[in-house]
Amino acid sequence: MFSTRTSGVLLHLTSLPGPHGSGDCGAQAYRFLDWLVNARQRFWQILPLTSIGVGNSPYASPSAFAGNPLLIDLETLRAAGWLTCDDLSAATLPDDRVDFEKMAPCRMQCLEKAWRAFRRHATQAEQVDLEKFCAEQTLWLDDYALFTALLQHHGSESWVDWPAALAKRQDAAMEQARREHANSIDFWKFCQWCFRRQWLQLKAHANECGIDIIGDMPIFVAHNSADVWAHPELFELREDGHCRVIAGVPPDVFNADGQCWGNPLYRWDAHAREGYRWWVERFRTTLQLVNVVRIDHFRGFSTCWELPAEATTGRDGTWREAPGAAVFSAIVAELGSVPAIAEDPGVVIPEVDALRRQFSLPGMRMLQFAFNGEESTFLPHKHERDAVVYTGTHDNDTVCGWWAAAKPAEHEYAMRYLRIDAREIHWDLIHAASASVANTAIIPLQDVLGLGSEARMNTPGKQSGNWTWRFTADTLTAAHAQRLADVTALYERSNDADGGRKSR
C-alpha cells in the first residue's frame, strides 16, 4: 500500500460542514470524497472514530472499540422514518465551530427519539440486522453498553466510585444492573449499530472512489472506560481500582514540563499470558473500519514514560520497557500483515526504529520540525521512501500559524533551503512534502486552505478549547482541488485508478 507514490488529506469528520453542530457521516462527507477524487488524492486520514472523553478528546475515549454516536448522520435517521423534519429543525446549530456543550446533548436527544421510533416502527429486516450486529460484536459491545448505561445512571462519575459490587463486577450486581438498565443498554447498542452501518457505507463508497481511509488508534485508553472496568487485570491498577502509575511524556523542546496524560499503563505480563488477545481484537475491530491504522505514540510499544499516579506534569517519570515485538508478532500471526503507520518521534531511537522496521511500518516526518537549525531527520533530503511526510498533524499549528510564530533563523533557513519567498508558505510546504522521496505525503486540509492558528485542531497539554475547528461548505472550492491535483500530478503522486469511481 505504501510502495508507490501517493498522497492524501488529513481531516477529521467533526470538521466537516453540516447543520447539526459538527460534521458526521452524512452528505458533506460524501461531497468531501468527491473533492478528494477531483484533487487526485489516494488517502483520507481521520482522527479516532471512538467516542470523545475528557476535554472532548477522541484520544480519551470511554471505549477503545465503540464508535462515536455524535458522528451519526441525523438526516439518514429521518429518511428511515425515525426522526421528523421538526426534530432536525430543533437540532439546527451554528456551523462555525463545534460547540460540544450544545451539540452533544442536542444530537443525543435526537438519537433517543430515533431509538423510540425504531422500537415502534422498525422493519423485521432492520431488527434482524441489529440483532446480528449485537451477536457479532458481543466481545466488546455488551460491556460497553452496560458501562455506558451505568455511567449515565451514576452521573458520569468514575466507575471506581460506583457501588463496590458494580465496580468489582460481582455477578449478582451485574445481573441486576442488566435488568434495571435493559432499555438504556439496548439504546447504546442501537447507537453503535447506526454508527457502524453509516460509517461502513461511507467507507465502502470511499474505496469505490479509489480513496483509502487512514484511521488513528491511540496507544492508551482512558481510565474511566469500559475497557479498564471490564478488564482491570490488564492495567496497572491498585486494589481499589485507581491507577498505580500513569502515562505521559518527559520534558522536551516542545514542552518544558513534559505531558501528564493520566492514562493507566498496561500490565504487559497479563497481556502476554492471554497471548495479547485484547490487542489482536482491537486491531481486528479497527481494521474493520479503516484501511490503514496510524498507531499513535508508537514509541510506547518499545518504552513508555511511567509517572506516579498523583503526577501533574511529565517531569518525575522513568522509562519502562514494553514488549512491542511480542505484541505485533501476535497480531500478525492472527491477522496477517497489518497496514499501519507508526507515529514515531522523528529522531532516531534505535530500539523504536528497529521495531518499526521489523514489522515494515513506515514512520512519519513533519516538515514544520525541519528548519530549527538542528540536525534533523525531518529535512526533505533525509527522508526515506518508507515514510509518510506531513506538513503538520492535528497536534501541530497550521503551516501559516507555525510560520507566523517561527524565529527569524527558521525563516532564513527554510527560505534558503526551499528556495522560496514564502509569500504562500503553506503551498511552499505542500510542494516540499509532495516532492519528497517519501512514498506517501499527507496534507492537513487547513494547510490546503492556507488558514492560520485559529484553525489549529489541538494543542497538546491544553485542557480545553481543542477539537473545535470546522470549515463551512463554501470554503473548500474546486479551485483548491485543482491546485492540489496539479501539485500531486507534478510530483507523480496522482490517484489515477478511475475504475469504479462514482459520486453520490
How many of the other CB atoms lie within 10 Å of CB of 383?
A: 23
73 included as an active-site residue: no
**CB–CB of 267/236 below 8 Å?**
yes
* Annotated catalytic residue, options 24, 212, 216, 343: 343
- Which one from 73, 296, 428, 447 is the annotated catalytic residue? 296
| In a domain? residue 351 | yes
Positive or negative, the Cα torsion across 240, 262, 343, 15?
Answer: positive
343 counts as catalytic = yes
**Domain assignment of residue 350, yes or no:** yes
Question: What is the rounded CA–CA span in Å between residue 276 and residue 332?
Answer: 11
What is the 8-class DSSP label of residue 397? Answer: P
Q: Contact 68/59 with Cβ under 8 angstroms?
A: no
Q: Which residues pair with 260 in a beta bridge?
A: 248
Distance from the first to the final alpha carbon of the chain? 26
Q: Which residue has the cell 457501588?
A: 163
501 domain-assigned:
no
Residue from 87, 112, 306, 395 carrying the catalytic annotation: 395
Report if residue 311 sits inside a domain: yes
Residue 323 Cα to chain centre, angstroms: 24
What DSSP element (H or E) covers 246?
Answer: strand 245-249
User: Is there a catalytic annotation at residue 410?
Assistant: no
Q: What is the pLDDT of residues 97-155, one digit of tens each?
A: 999 999 999 999 999 999 999 999 999 999 999 999 999 999 999 999 999 999 999 98
Distance (Å, rounded) from C-alpha 190 to C-alpha 138?
13
Three-class HEC string of 368-402: HHCCCCCCCCCCHHHCCCCEEEECCCCCCCCHHHH
Contacts of 182 (CB under 8 A, 6+ apart): none
The tally of domains found in the chain comes to: 1
Please check whether residue 304 is in contact with residue 228, taking contact to mean a CB–CB distance below 8 angstroms: no
Q: Which three cell numbers stand for residue 165?
A: 459490587
Segments of the chain scoring below 70 in pLDDT: 345-347, 375, 497-504
Residue 261: give the domain boundaries. 231-361
Contact 340, 298 (CB under 8 A): no
Answer whether residue 260 is part of any domain.
yes
Measured between alpha carbons, how far is 182 from 162 in angstroms, rounded to an integer? 18
Q: Is the dihedral of CA 52, 365, 330, 263 positive or negative?
A: negative
Residue 500: its pLDDT value, please? 36
Separation of alpha carbons 392 and 367, rounded Å: 7
Q: Examine residue 175 and state whether it is found in any structural domain, yes or no.
A: no
Q: Does 414 reside within a domain?
A: no
Minimal CA–CA distance to 326: which of 359, 297, 349, 285? Answer: 359
C-alpha–C-alpha distance, residues 449 and 416, integer Å: 24
Nearest to 193 by CA among 103, 84, 105, 82: 82
What cell numbers appear for 378 in the block? 525531518
Look at residue 346 in the predicted model and tell me its pLDDT: 61
Instruction: Answer whether 164's CB lies under 8 Å from 172's CB.
Output: no
Which whole-number Å values give the CA distances from 43 to 18, 36, 75, in the listed order? 22, 8, 26
Residue 391 lies in a domain: no
Residue 156 is predicted with a pLDDT of 74
Rounded CA separation 87/109 (Å): 9
Spatial distance between the Cα atoms of 352 and 363, rounded to a whole number of angstroms:
10
